[in-house]
Amino acid sequence: MPLPLGWRPGDEGRAYAEQRGLTGDNYDRELTAFRNHCADKGRRSCDWHAAWCGWVDKTRLSNGGHRPSRGDRARQLARQVEAMERAEAEAKARGPP
């Protein structure tokens, strides 16, 4: 059956996620991502609790327990740009080889 409209993990599903470090805003973002994925892909399941637990486990394994927020990604990109700019400035300061 498709994911029921407004579906939320029960207390057991929330506890499962929290035990794996998925709490607060990260929990809410991951729940939204799960719902959107299910809707977008037309996903069907006979056990949505099991599907949720599998989603939580995959998320935890792939990124340490939470999906990065837009702010997290923006900060990471800014650090990468700064590192590249520093390396470029250092190369210019050294002059040609």
User: How many residues are there in the chain?
Assistant: 97
> In percent, how much of the chain has pLDDT > 70?
90
Q: Find where tokens 């990604």 sit.
A: 73
Q: What confidence score (pLDDT) does residue 69 get?
A: 64
pLDDT in tens, 25-59: 889 999 999 999 999 999 999 999 999 999 998 88
For residue 65, pLDDT beyond 60: no
Tell me, yes or no, whether 4 and 15 share the same domain. yes
Tell me, yes or no, whether 35 and 49 share the same domain. yes
Domains: count for the chain: 2
By residue range, what is the domain housing residue 27?
A: 1-66
**What is the average pLDDT value for the chain, to the nearest integer?**
87
Stretch 52-73: mean pLDDT, rounded? 73
Tell me, yes or no, whether 22 and 51 share the same domain. yes
Q: What confidence score (pLDDT) does residue 45 get?
A: 96
pLDDT band at 12 (very low <50, low <70, confident <90, very high): very high
Tell me, yes or no, whether 62 and 76 share the same domain. no
Tell me, yes or no, whether 28 and 53 share the same domain. yes
